[in-house]
Structure 1
Amino acid sequence: MEDFNSHFSSAFLGKKILITGGSTGIGRASAILLSSLGAKCLICGRNDEPLRETLAAIKSKKLPDAIAVEADLSSGEGIRKVLDAVDSELGGLDILINNAALGYGSITDGGYEDWQYILNTNLLAYMACSQEAINRFKSAGAGQIINIGSMSADVREEKSSVYVATKAGIQGFSEALRKEINPLGIRLLLIEPGAVDTDMQPASKEEKLEQIEKHEMLPADDIAWAIAFCIAQPPASDVVNLKIRPHLQLI
């Protein structure tokens, strides 16, 4: 068996990776890290400015150029736009990281259209992107889907019933889909983080930094490193579910 450093350093070279929600938080951190390890990343997001900022951060580190697509994954049109770019700009796909998601509170807030938009973004987009990825993986007999879920699927916090519904849906979807696609040589991983410094957290930047220092919140980089660790596993070894929480997030 080759040593870990040799294996890890070569596990990402030339890999073609789609990261949804790749302009902020976990997606941004993952794009920067995976690019630094030699992967070719395509990121998508709803807003142009953070996409450009993420590309600039990657370029400033003299890393392989990433590709950015401005698209709203709540619609079939947005999903088709991203996957068309995967084919034309990325030239194929090895790994899908389903990460794009929005926070939301209780079912007692808002109305049908609000909930529909959240469900489309947080759950249906995961399903649609997964189907598109599987169609591309089948011919190669290999590929990996990484779904970013949340501890909310199990903890089910009060006043977050809409968000919890989407994350519980991702959990069930991931567990069932893995059984369908493993015989095709396709791996599936569900990562369920606890509190992470992302745009979903309502606290100020200073408050979040204080929580990170107190080990009550994780920086997004920690989740990116966990993703890299799982990608680098040998072909016969699957990390199926990974729960990551801050040391002092006691639940």
Structure 2
Amino acid sequence: MENIQEYLPQQVQGKKVLISGGTTGIGRATAVLLAKLGATVAVFGRHEQELNDALRDIEEQAGVTVIGFTADTAKEEDIKKIFDTVKEELGGLDVLINNAAIGFGSVTDGGYKDWEYAVKTNLLGYLACAGEAIKIMKDNGGGHIVNIGSMSADVREEKSAVYVATKSGIQGFSEALRKQVNPDGIKISLIEPGAVDTDMQQQDTEKKREEVASGKMLKADDIAMAVLYCISQPKRCDVVELKVRPHLQLI
């Protein structure tokens, strides 16, 4: 190998990165990792307390401050707020990590407003953020969008029809969008994790620790490393789809 440097994580140094749902779980872990490696990171989430906790945590672990604000991708007016902030605070955008999502069951749970909010958050929010990011990236001559999906798109668990529908939508969206924007120098990567120790998992903390230790559940850091792998590749190389599952999660 002639030039190992083009594959090393230092490639993210100086990149301008926006992470939706960056205040908890996978988003927060990714923010810590990329900030440590010198990226300029902006995160947002729905709740002020979680945001404050995340900003403090990221600063302690990464040794740098990141941009943080509250926003809800299910709300059209907040999409404008997000990308106004990107332009003002980041001054551009190299990487969008579409990560904000909520868990949900089936159409036998809740009602229309509940399903609507889940679909807006888990699917429409990804579409809207990607659409706005592409406008900026085209002007910059390229960029990278990483969509955090779920293995649920393939497994299609019983009693999770609404969640499965949204993650299946992300799968199709990612593939079609990649074909459209690759000629503009914009990469699209889809990462589909299995079970991850985040707030979305309903087990108590001790149970989740046991699941991680036994190889039945991933840590959020594992998916952060998958994001890093995707965005660290040289320009000629696209990681189109990456499935990351716990060693003993067999379905």
SS at 2:144's partner residue? strand
Greater displacement, 174-183 / 50-59: 50-59
Residue 3 of structure 2 is matched in structure 1 by 2
State the shift of 1:91 in Å.
Answer: 1.2
> Can you give the 5+ residue segments of structure 1 that lack an aligned partner in the other structure?
none
Q: Does the aligned pair in 2 maintain the 1:148–1:190 contact within 8 Å?
A: yes
Aligned partners of 2:11 and 2:53: how far apart in 1? Answer: 27
Q: Does the aligned pair in 2 maintain the 1:40–1:64 contact within 8 Å?
A: no
Residue 160 of structure 1 is matched in structure 2 by 160
Aligned partners of 2:69 and 2:25: how far apart in 1? Answer: 17
Q: Does the aligned pair in 2 maintain the 1:146–1:188 contact within 8 Å?
A: yes
State the shift of 1:8 in Å.
Answer: 1.7
Q: Does the aligned pair in 2 maintain the 1:196–1:219 contact within 8 Å?
A: yes
Aligned partners of 2:64 and 2:11: how far apart in 1? Answer: 16
Aligned partners of 1:76 and 1:105: how far apart in 2? Answer: 24
Cα 1:9–1:122 shift into 2, 3 Å: closer
Give the aligned residue type for 2:218.
L
Greater displacement, 54-63 / 95-104: 54-63
SS at 1:180's partner residue? helix
Aligned partners of 1:123 and 1:191: how far apart in 2? Answer: 15
Give the aligned residue type for 2:235.
P
Cα 1:62–1:118 shift into 2, 3 Å: closer
State the shift of 1:7 in Å.
Answer: 4.6
Residue 246 of structure 2 is matched in structure 1 by 246
State the shift of 1:72 in Å.
Answer: 1.2
1:98 matches 2:98: yes
Residue 145 of structure 1 is matched in structure 2 by 145
Cα offsets for 1:19-50 (capped at 9, x unmatched): 00000000000000000010011101000111
Give the aligned residue type for 1:49.
Q
The sequence identity of aligned pairs, in percent, is 57
Instruction: Calculate the TM-score normalised by the size of structure 2.
Output: 0.97
Instruction: Calculate the TM-score normalised by the size of structure 1.
Output: 0.97
Q: Does the aligned pair in 2 maintain the 1:39–1:64 contact within 8 Å?
A: no
> Can you give the 5+ residue segments of structure 2 that lack an aligned partner in the other structure?
none
Moved beyond 4 Å, runs of 4+: none
Aligned partners of 1:62 and 1:226: how far apart in 2? Answer: 18
State the shift of 1:154 in Å.
Answer: 0.5
Aligned partners of 1:38 and 1:158: how far apart in 2? Answer: 42
Greater displacement, 160-169 / 82-91: 82-91
Residue 73 of structure 2 is matched in structure 1 by 73
Aligned partners of 1:110 and 1:3: how far apart in 2? Answer: 52
Count of residue correspondences: 250
